[in-house]
């Protein structure tokens, strides 16, 4: 068998050799603690500062607005818990209904301390409607959190519009940009967000929280006071250096790469819909991440686990939605349920997420392997019915 095809970049990405090169001296030779005053410490501090500027530049922030964390999850926790804690009251958190578990579980935790939680409904494409937000903003709200792009269906939210509405009510706005970071242009000032979470493991192994200058945020980890007292613990210098290098590469190559990946994605979508009469696509037809496609086979949702195993054995890595929650368990995806799909259709999602090293040749081989696997497993006699949804026309965007 020739080399494997990795189409699961929304779970995590392979390391770019240029990023590894930037990290190399901090993986072996250089070992200083950035808080130390001697030369080794100063070298590490300079490397962290350079990375901070590189990550800031990716999102139009200033370096002193970037707090490095250990993950996107930690950045999300710090954003919501940190704001509620700084407010001194349990307050009210408004979050999208299809947020990542890092937000939804943080909301559940905050609720145990008396915080009121409101979830914003989404439509069949996964979009948060501004009307829903306006309704939620009628009561006293501490912070609104809506993800920039969804990890399961790839839909990009109208963050600028939602943040603007939120600002009109004098309320803070956070966006989880763990999936969107480096894939679509993000500018914190144009978007008018106060907090924005990033993870480097989509680039590789560390996270960051953008914190708008002047806003109140309380720490959730206590210790030596690193990262302006907001995230104690000795910095992961090699990871941070890699994050910085990846942020810079991504910033320079983003537009070209996004256009290339969107082309490959459209090609896969067209071929899947042409080859399989019962195939249907999930998420918004145009407001979606460039290399992200999710689809299902109507009437055969329960076979997705077997189909993914067959693809894996044939050398292709794709996934059934989020790597962190939905898996081969056959459980309906909570994201699809919130988008209005019935439990059966919500079991059937296959996610293909392309990346920097994905090629047309790989896409063609993937489509061949998919055809063989589908005919072997699902049979060719398929019905052309649409998935179970109140208004199926909204998702059939072929």
Q: Which residues are at the interface with ligand PLP (CB under 6 A)?
A: 71-73, 76, 100, 102, 147, 151, 176, 178-179, 199, 201, 207, 324
Distance CA 187, CA 184 (A): 10
* CB proximity list for 318: less than 8 A, separation 6 or greater: 7, 8, 308, 311, 350, 351, 352, 353, 366
3-state secondary structure of 326: coil
Distance CA 321, CA 23 (A): 31
Provide, rounded to whole angstroms, the least separation between the CB of residue 41 and ligand PLP.
Answer: 27
Provide, rounded to whole angstroms, the least separation between the CB of residue 105 and ligand PLP.
Answer: 11
Q: Which is nearer to ligand PLP, 207 or 283 (CB)?
A: 207
Give which of 34, 15, 37 is closest to 26, Cα–Cα: 34
Q: Which is nearer to ligand PLP, 100 or 265 (CB)?
A: 100
Distance CA 31, CA 44 (A): 7
Distance CA 322, CA 116 (A): 27
Q: What kind and span of H or E run contains 199?
A: strand 195-199
Provide, rounded to whole angstroms, the least separation between the CB of residue 375 and ligand PLP.
Answer: 32
Residue 127 CA from chain centroid, whole number: 15
Provide, rounded to whole angstroms, the least separation between the CB of residue 101 and ligand PLP.
Answer: 8
Distance CA 45, CA 127 (A): 41
Are the C-beta atoms of residues 242 and 22 closer than 8 Å to each other? yes
Q: Which is nearer to ligand PLP, 177 or 230 (CB)?
A: 177
Q: Which is nearer to ligand PLP, 172 or 198 (CB)?
A: 198
Choosing from 324, 376, 384, 398, which is the catalytic residue? 324
Distance CA 16, CA 334 (A): 33
Sign of the Cα torsion 50, 56, 61, 64 reads: negative
Q: Which is nearer to ligand PLP, 207 or 291 (CB)?
A: 207
Q: Which is nearer to ligand PLP, 176 or 257 (CB)?
A: 176
Q: Which is nearer to ligand PLP, 76 or 248 (CB)?
A: 76
Are the C-beta atoms of residues 204 and 243 closer than 8 Å to each other? yes
Are the C-beta atoms of residues 151 and 126 closer than 8 Å to each other? no
**Interior/surface letters 34-43, b for 16+ CB within 10 angstroms, e for the rest:** beeeeeeeeb
Largest pairwise CA distance in the chain:
71
Provide, rounded to whole angstroms, the least separation between the CB of residue 293 and ligand PLP.
Answer: 16
Provide, rounded to whole angstroms, the least separation between the CB of residue 238 and ligand PLP.
Answer: 16
Distance CA 216, CA 186 (A): 23
Provide, rounded to whole angstroms, the least separation between the CB of residue 373 and ligand PLP.
Answer: 26
Give the residue nearest to ligand PLP (CB): 72
Are the C-beta atoms of residues 9 and 353 closer than 8 Å to each other? yes
Q: Which is nearer to ligand PLP, 157 or 199 (CB)?
A: 199
* CB proximity list for 21: less than 8 A, separation 6 or greater: 245
Provide, rounded to whole angstroms, the least separation between the CB of residue 56 and ligand PLP.
Answer: 19
324 is catalytic: yes
Q: Which residue has the tokens 């496609």?
A: 293
Q: Which residues belong to the active site? A: 324
């Amino acid at each position: 068998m020739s080399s494997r095809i990795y189409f699961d970049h929304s779970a995590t990405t392979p390391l770019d050799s240029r990023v590894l090169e930037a990290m190399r001296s901090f993986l072996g030779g250089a070992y200083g603690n950035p808080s130390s005053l001697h030369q080794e410490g100063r070298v590490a501090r300079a490397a962290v500062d350079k990375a901070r500027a590189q990550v800031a530049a990716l999102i139009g922030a200033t370096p002193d607005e970037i707090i490095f964390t250990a993950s996107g999850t930690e950045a999300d926790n710090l954003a919501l818990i940190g704001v509620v804690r700084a407010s001194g009251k349990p307050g009210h958190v408004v979050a999208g209904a299809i947020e990542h578990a890092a937000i939804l579980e943080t909301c559940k935790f905050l609720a145990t301390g008396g915080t009121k939680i409101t979830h914003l409904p989404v439509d069949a494409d996964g979009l948060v409607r501004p009307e829903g937000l306006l309704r939620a903003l009628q009561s006293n709200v501490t912070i609104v959190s809506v993800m920039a792009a969804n990890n399961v269906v790839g839909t990009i939210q109208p963050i600028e519009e939602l943040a603007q509405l939120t600002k009109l009510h004098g309320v803070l706005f956070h966006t989880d940009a763990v999936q969107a970071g480096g894939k679509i242009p993000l500018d914190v000032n144009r978007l008018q967000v106060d907090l924005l979470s990033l993870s480097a493991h989509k680039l590789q192994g560390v996270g960051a929280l953008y914190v708008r200058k002047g806003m109140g945020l309380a720490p959730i980890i206590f210790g030596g006071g690193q990262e302006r007292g907001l995230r104690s613990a000795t910095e992961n210098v090699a990871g941070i250096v890699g994050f910085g290098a990846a942020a810079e590469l991504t910033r320079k190559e983003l537009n070209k790469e996004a256009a290339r990946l969107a082309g490959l994605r459209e090609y896969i979508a067209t071929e899947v819909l042409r080859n399989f009469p019962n195939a249907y696509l999930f998420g918004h037809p145009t407001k979606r991440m460039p290399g992200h496609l999710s689809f299902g086979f109507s009437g055969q949702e329960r076979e997705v686990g077997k189909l993914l195993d067959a693809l894996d054995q044939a050398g292709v890595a794709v996934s059934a939605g989020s790597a962190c929650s939905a898996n081969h368990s056959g459980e309906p995806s909570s994201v699809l349920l919130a988008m209005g799909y019935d439990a059966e259709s919500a079991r059937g999602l296959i996610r293909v997420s392309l990346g920097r090293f994905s090629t047309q040749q790989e896409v063609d081989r993937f489509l061949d392997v998919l055809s063989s696997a589908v005919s072997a497993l699902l049979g060719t006699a398929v019905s052309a019915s649409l998935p179970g949804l109140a208004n199926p026309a909204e998702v059939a965007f072929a």
